[in-house]
Amino acid sequence: MTDSEPVNLEIMIEASPETVFEFFVDPGLMRTWMGDHAVLEPRVGGSFAVDIGNNHVRGSFVDLQPPERVVFTWGWEGSDIVPPGSSTVTFIFEAREGGTLVRLIHSDLPTGEDFRHTQGWNHYLGRLTKAAIGDDPGPDPLEVGQGMHDQPTGES
Average pLDDT over residues 86-100: 98
Q: Residue 66: which of 12, 18, 133 has the closest Cα?
A: 18
Give the span between the Cα atoms of 87 and 77, in whole angstroms.
13
Per-residue pLDDT at 100 exceeds 90: yes
Mean pLDDT for 82-110 is 98
- Position 1 scores a pLDDT of 53
Asked whether the beta carbons of 109 and 87 are under 8 A apart, the reply is yes
Residue 68, helix vs strand vs coil: coil
Per the rule left: phi > 0, alpha: psi between -120 and 50, beta: everything else, 70 is beta
Residue 16, number of CB atoms within 10 A of its CB: 15
- How far apart CA 55 and CA 120 sit, in angstroms, is 13
Of the chain, the percentage scoring pLDDT greater than 70 comes to 90
Give the span between the Cα atoms of 73 and 71, in whole angstroms.
7
Tens digit of pLDDT for each residue in 24-41?
Answer: 999 999 999 999 999 999
What mean pLDDT is predicted for residues 60-76? Answer: 98
Q: Which residue segments constitute the domains of the chain, with CATH numbers given?
A: 7-135 (3.30.530.20)
pLDDT value of residue 126: 98
pLDDT tens-place string over residues 116-125: 999 999 999 9
Provide mean pLDDT across the span 61-71: 98
Whether residue 67 is preceded by a cis peptide bond, meaning omega within 30 degrees of 0, is: yes
